[in-house]
Structure 1
Amino acid sequence: MGNLQSIENKVKEIIKSRLKNQEKINNINSETPLLSLGIDSILALSILVEIEEAFDIEINDEDLNMDRIRTIHSFAELIGSYV
Structure 2
Amino acid sequence: MKIEEKVKEIIVSRLKDKAKVKTLTYSTPLLSLGIDSILALSILVEIEEAYDIEIDDSDLNMDKIKDIASFADLVRSCIENE
Task: Give the TM-score normalised by the residue count of structure 1.
Answer: 0.91
* 3-state SS of 2:7 partner: helix
* 3-state SS of 1:26 partner: helix
Structure 1: gaps spanning 5 or more residues: none
Q: What CA distance in whole angstroms lies between the structure 2 residues aligned with 1:67 and 1:42?
A: 18
Q: CA deviation at 1:41?
A: 1.0
Task: Give the TM-score normalised by the residue count of structure 2.
Answer: 0.92
Give CA-to-partner distance per residue, 1:42-69, whole Å, 9 cap, x none. 1111000000000100000000111110
Determine the structure 2 residue equivalent to 1:33: 29
Count of matched residue pairs:
79
Determine the structure 1 residue equivalent to 2:77: 81
Determine the structure 2 residue equivalent to 1:17: 13
Counterpart code for 1:48: L
Counterpart code for 2:62: M
Q: CA deviation at 1:25?
A: 1.1
Determine the structure 2 residue equivalent to 1:56: 52
Q: What CA distance in whole angstroms lies between the structure 1 residues aligned with 2:23 and 2:76?
A: 23
Q: What CA distance in whole angstroms lies between the structure 1 residues aligned with 2:31 and 2:75?
A: 18
Moved runs in structure 1, 4+ residues, more than 6 A? none
Q: What CA distance in whole angstroms lies between the structure 2 residues aligned with 1:67 and 1:41?
A: 15
Counterpart code for 1:68: K
Structure 2: gaps spanning 5 or more residues: none
Determine the structure 2 residue equivalent to 1:47: 43
